Structure 1
């Protein structure tokens, strides 16, 4: 049997398979040679790189932890960044007490008479951290006699009559002692109107001389008092005992807020007298509670 061939369109005979394979191979470009594998670094180099990488990760982790710790700490908790205390006391967070239903705040638009409708005892400044509360002045009601006991005996009878004429409604008080020996007493006296409260305050400082307190026969205006932080519409006054001091240096201040008068007294025995910073702080915070 003869091998049958098929002619191409141009009449020529097709090439042999081996010839086609050779022609296709000759026309196809040579593939790019595969890159030679890179030489492996010595084992000691790998070990060194691993050690440095591990060290960098550890240091990076420590750095991130330190940064987080500093940002989450108070400035005074960070060694080297601590600032010296200015003597302020650590009072609890303050909040105004609830009011009877329908009663406005003393300085709101609906309270022209500036009357305090809240429980007077709830308007007393709470004792700061570390204080030992006076059991006699525990934040409850006290008598007018207790309030008048803060003043010198020579002035009590006249002041008692003035207080009686002013018809006070309630007197609340709180006292405490700090670890450094500083004693604090706060009295809130509520009158029937703002006029009575202001009139009683005027009687205390009449003719430019103030009614003296026990242990402070002579007082002067506190030169360091600026009244900072007081509430608009209120009035605040600060006094210091005149030199030479007695057994204890006495500082005291008044706040007149609507129908209520506040008396703040601080004293401290010994060579180190009362400090102005906690005294001013106490007066300002009591003022804010009455506003």
Structure 2
């Protein structure tokens, strides 16, 4: 039996004990030596370059996405100048109150497009803009306009009176006001018994007869780009190129929607654009549609 190696190992023990360090204090933690390990007080290990590069590009991408998202939100917000009723100073439009449209009850006859409004049509009469001075000779939403007052718009009212009588006009809702720019606006809603009767009046006389304010008009009214004409709504109008005796320019639009024919008439001093007229026509059409 060869005992040389065990003895040698036993002999090495006293030498190791003789040169050993003092015993550790009780409760202290002794870390085993690991090849390549950092000293205990060396702090966190530095991140590899590749990881730092990935984090840097990821942060840059997130910042870019946030900025791009914010720019998209801003550029897709509607232009205030395209929203009726906001009253921007740049184009002269008027500031109307919030509008609401009651439901339309469809009739049981016709081809499906005929409509009868079973509610009070004064609910869809265009309200006055904020700050407008009302014409107290008009009933507004508090009453009905006398047919004779409506007929006074025309130089020869007799033919129109006969057509209104023959087509069974029920009543007229109307309002009028003047705004600070000197523009006078009059709105009339002629209510008939049905879509068909209103359409007959519109085709036979309603859209052809011109009020005195636009008798000298030579330009047909064309709604501006972006005009939101509702379904089953027809529209004609006339713009006066010549001022009247008071130096005012007349504009009129006739709208037929269901059992109602609406007339929007304005008279404006020189220098007032047609933007507020377009706005009034657009809003009244939306209320009817």
3-state SS of paired residue (2:141): strand
2:186 aligned counterpart, secondary structure: strand
- What is the SS of the residue equivalent to 1:139? coil
Number of positions where the alignment pairs a residue of Structure 1 with one of Structure 2: 236
Unaligned runs of 5+ in 1: 1-9, 36-66, 77-82
Which deviations, in whole Å up to 9, do the C-alpha atoms of 1:246-270 show, x marking residues without a partner?
Answer: 422111110011211000010124x
| CA–CA distance in structure 1, aligned partners of residues 233 and 39 of structure 2 | 94
Hey, what does 1:277 align to over in structure 2? 275
Tell me which residue corresponds to 2:100.
95
The residue correspondences of 1:241-252 to structure 2 (distance < 5 A) are 241-243=240-242, 245-247=244-246, 248-252=248-252
Cα displacement (A) at 1:245 = 4.1
How far apart, CA to CA, are the structure 2 residues paired with 1:231 and 1:33? 80
The residue correspondences of 1:141-152 to structure 2 (distance < 5 A) are 141-152=144-155
Unaligned runs of 5+ in 2: 1-5, 23-32, 42-69, 81-87
Normalised TM-score (structure 2) = 0.65
Change (3 A) 1:164 1:130: same
Q: CA RMSD in A?
A: 4.3
> Relative to structure 1, is the Cα distance of residues 25 and 240 closer, same or farther in structure 2, using a 3 angstrom cutoff?
same
SS at match of 2:212: coil
Other structure's SS at 1:150 match: coil
TM-score norm. by structure 1 comes to 0.64
C-alpha distance in 2, partners of 1:110/1:168? 22
Q: Pick closer, same or farther for the CA change 1:156–1:85 going to 2, 3 Å.
A: same
1:220 aligned residue (209, 218, 221): 218
Maintained 8 Å contact 2:146/2:172: yes
Which residue matches 2:164?
163
Matches of 2:125 and 2:20 in 1, distance apart? 105
Partner Cα distance (1:133, 1:199) in 2: 32
